Amino acid sequence: MGGKYSSMDPMQIEVPDINKLLERDPYLKPYEKEIRRRYACFKDAIENIETNGGGIDEFTQGYKYFGINVQQDNSIVCREWAPGARQLFLTGEFNGWNRDSHPYRKLEYGKWELVLPANEDGTAPIRHNSELKVVVETGSGSKEDRLSPWATYVVEPPKSEGTIYRHKFWNPPFSEKYLFKHSKVKRPKSLRIYECHVGIATSELKVGSYDNFTDNILPRIVKQGYNTIQVMAIMEHAYYASFGYQVTSFFGASSRYGTPEELKRMVDKAHELGLFVLLDVVHSHASKNVMDGLNMFDGTDSCYFHTGARGVHSLWDSRLFNYSEFEVQKFLLSNLRWWLDQYQFDGFRFDGVTSMLYHSRGIGQGFSGHYDDYFGLGVDTEAIIYIMAANYICHKLYPEVVTIAEDVSGMPGTCRPVEEGCLGFDYRLAMAIPDKWIELLKEVSDDNWDIANIVHTLSNRRWMEPNVAYAESHDQALVGDKTIAFWLMDKEMYTHMSTLSDCSAIIDRGIALHKIIRLITHGLGGEAYLNFIGNEFGHPEWLDFPRAGNNSSYHYARRQWQLVDNELLKYKYLNAFDARMNHLEERYGWLHANPGYVSWKHQDDKVVAFERAGLVFIFNFNPTKSFPDYPVGVHDEGKYVIVLSSDDSEFGGQNRIDKTIPYVTRSEGFAGRRYSFLIYIPCRTAVVLAKE
C-alpha cells in the first residue's frame, strides 16, 4: 500500500516533462499547445482538490463521509449529495418504514446529513443486513424512494416481489468480518491476464459464487500459468445480462455471487496464490435505472450526470457522468480508492475509455490515425482531466497499481505518464488484434491470409506505450459472435472432439490454427497477454446470459470444465498448449522485453519468423506446404534448440518435429540477420527456439 496524503501534506504536482513526449514523437509538436493546456487543466483540478476538497487523501475517501457510516460509539451518520432535492428522509426496517420520522438536515453545497444516536444498550440503531431506503422529496413535492449512491451491499428481491434491488445495511459483527491475511502481490513484469466472470465460472446451471471461484477456479488459473486475473461484473448491476456494464451501485460488490466478505476472501486467496487482481471498472457511464441506480437521484436529470442529450449515451441507453462537477469527481475517485482499499484490488481495466474521450462517444467516428482526431474540438476535455487525475492519484497512492484502457481510438499518450502531459494508463487493449483474427476466420480462407497484414496488425503500436495483446476476449464470446474455436470447428465440435473418434480435417485444422494464432499473438502482439475464461481450451458455443429471449436459460452462461477435464476429449490439447506457452513466457519474459524483431514474412510460403527476448519464433501458416530446410536468420550465433512445438502429440499435433536436434548457426546471413540456420517446419505449425 502506498503512502497517504492529506491537506497538511499536499500531493506535489511534478513539473511537466512534455518535451519527453515530443522527442519520442516529433509529429506531436504542432499539438504542443493543446497538450500543455490539458496538463494545466489537470493541475488546476488537483490543486482544487487540495484547496477545497481537504486534500487528496480525504477527498478520495468520500465513502467515509457520504453514505451510511457507523461511528466508534455505534452512532450512525448518514450523508448524501442531492442538490436538486427539497428534503431527504431515511426509512427502513429500523423505523418501521416510516417515511417522515427521520429527516436529513440540509448542509451547504447540496449536502444533507442525518445523525442517529446509538441505542441505549450501546448497539447501532440500524441492524446489520436490515433494509434501507432514502426518500427524496423532489422540487415538485413528490416523495420518491431511492437507494443511496454510496450503498455497499444491495440485493435482488424475491422474484415474486419485483425487480428493484434493495439496499441492505452491511455492518457485520467483528466475528463475521473477513480479515485479510495476505499482502498485495508485487506488480508482475509480464502481465499474463485471465479475464474472468465469477457468475459463469461454474458448470452448473446457475450463477457461480465467490466461494466456488476461490476454491475451484483460482487453482486452475495458477496451474495454467497466468499471474493476473481481471474480474468482470463485480460492481453491482441489476441486469445480469448486461455483463456488468450497466452499473447501478458503484460501491456495491455484486450480491448475486455472495457477500462482501466472500469477495474479500476471494481476493485474499488470489494474493496467497501469487495472483495480481484487476477489477473491470465502469466509469464511462451508468445504468439509467432510477429506483435502484444513480439516475434522477435528487429528482433532477442532472446531479451526477450531464443534463439533456449530453447526459445520455444513445447506443448504450445509459447516463453519462458530468466529470467537471466536484462532487462527481469525489464520487468516482473515491470509488477507485474503495476497491483498492476495502477489497485490496491491485488495479483496474477501465471500460469504455473511447466513449469518455470524445464528444461523439466514438459512435460513427472513424479514427484515421491523423492527430487532428485526438487534439481537436471533438475531444471531451473534462473526461480527459478526470482520467488523468484518476491515473495520477491511483499511481501516487499505490505505486504498484496497474491501469488498463479499453480504447479503440489510439489516442497518443494513452500509456505514458501524466507528467508527460499524457493520460497515465499503464497499458491499452490492442483491440485491433482480435478484430483481425475474427475478420480472417469469417471472411478469408487461410490459404489466402495476408501474412504481412497479420504481422502489421500484431506489431502496429506506439513505441513505449505498452499494449495488452489478445486473440479474443469476452466480446468475441458473446452470443451473435463466435469464439476462435467455434469459428474454426463448430461444424464438428459436437461429433469429432473425442480422441476415439475418426480423424477429422476440420478438427485437425482447428486445433492447429487455434494454437498458432494464440502463440503469435502472445509472442508478437504486445507487452501483456489476455485470455478470456474457457477460451484457453477452446470452449465451445457462445456466451449468453439468462434473459427473456432464451427463456432465462443458464445453458450458455457457464463454463463446461468437464470438457477439458475429460481425458478422452481433445480440449485437453489446447489447454496443455496454453499452459506451456504461459510457463515459457514466465521463464524467458518476452512480454516485458523489447518488441519482437520480424526478420521474415513470406506471403506465398505463409511463413513468419521473429526474435524476441533471445528466442526465435517461427510460424508456418501454410495449410498444405511443409518446408524441410527453411532458412531462418538470427542476430546471435550459436546452437539453438526447440523449447516449444505446437506439433507435439501432447498438444494434439502430429509429432513431425524431432526436438532433440540442435540447430547450429551458419556464418551465412539471411533476411538481414548476421547468421542463419536451416529448419524443418511442417504446415500449420509453430516452433520456438532458444540458444542452448
Q: What would the DSSP string read from start to end of 214-262? A: IIIIHHHHHHTT--EEEEES-EE-S-GGGTT-S-SEEEEEPGGG--HHH
Length of the chain: 692
Taking CA 264 as the corner, what is the angle to CA 260 and CA 270, rounded to the nearest 5 degrees? Answer: 145
4-to-45, 229, 330, 396 alpha-carbon distances in Å = 19, 26, 17, 9
378-415 burial, b if ≥16 CB within 10 A, otherwise e?
Answer: ebbbbbbbbbbbbbbbbbbbbeebbbbbbbbbbbbbbb
| Sequential DSSP letters for 449-479 | --HHHHHHHHH---TT--EEE-S--HHHHBB
User: Which grid cell sits at 37?
Assistant: 493546456
Which residues fall within 8 angstroms of residue 501, CB to CB, at 6 or more apart? 495
CA distance 137 to 100: 10
**For residue 556, which of 628, 494, 478, 491 has the smallest C-alpha distance?**
478
Which of 406, 407, 544, 647 is the catalytic position?
406
In terms of phi and psi (left: phi > 0; alpha: psi -120 to 50; beta: otherwise), the region of 310 is alpha
β-pairing, 528-532 vs 597-602, is unpaired
* Three-state SS at 183: coil
Instruction: Please say if 406 is a catalytic residue.
Output: yes
What is the rounded distance in angstroms from the CA atom of residue 267 to the CA atom of residue 261? 10
Measured in whole angstroms, the distance separating CA 178 from the mean position of its chain's CA atoms is 25
Closest CA to 644 of 581, 559, 565, 572: 581
Residue 468: other Cβ atoms inside 10 A = 27
Give the whole-angstrom CA distance, residue 237 versus residue 245: 7
Amino acid at 8: M
Cell of 62: 468520500
In the numeric block, which cell numbers belong to residue 497?
472432439
Residue 157: all three cell numbers together: 428481491
At residue 341, what is the residue type?
D
**In sequence order, what DSSP letters do the residues of 162-180 get, joined into one string?**
-S--EEE-----GGGS---
Active-site entry in 80, 144, 195, 351: 351
CB atoms near residue 355 (< 10 Å): 24
| Nearest Cα residue to 526 out of 24, 279, 191, 280 | 191
For 382, the enclosing helix (H) or strand (E) is helix 381-397
Burial class (CB in 10 A: 0-12, 13-18, 19+), 631: middle
- How far, in Å, CA of 523 to CA of 588, rounded? 11
Q: Which of 11, 10, 33 is nearest to 22 (CA)?
A: 33
Geometric angle at alpha carbon 576, from 437 and 658, rounded to 5°: 95
Q: Is 668 a catalytic residue?
A: no
DSSP bridge partners of 687: 618, 645
Here the cell at position 566 is 475429460
Active site residues: 351, 406
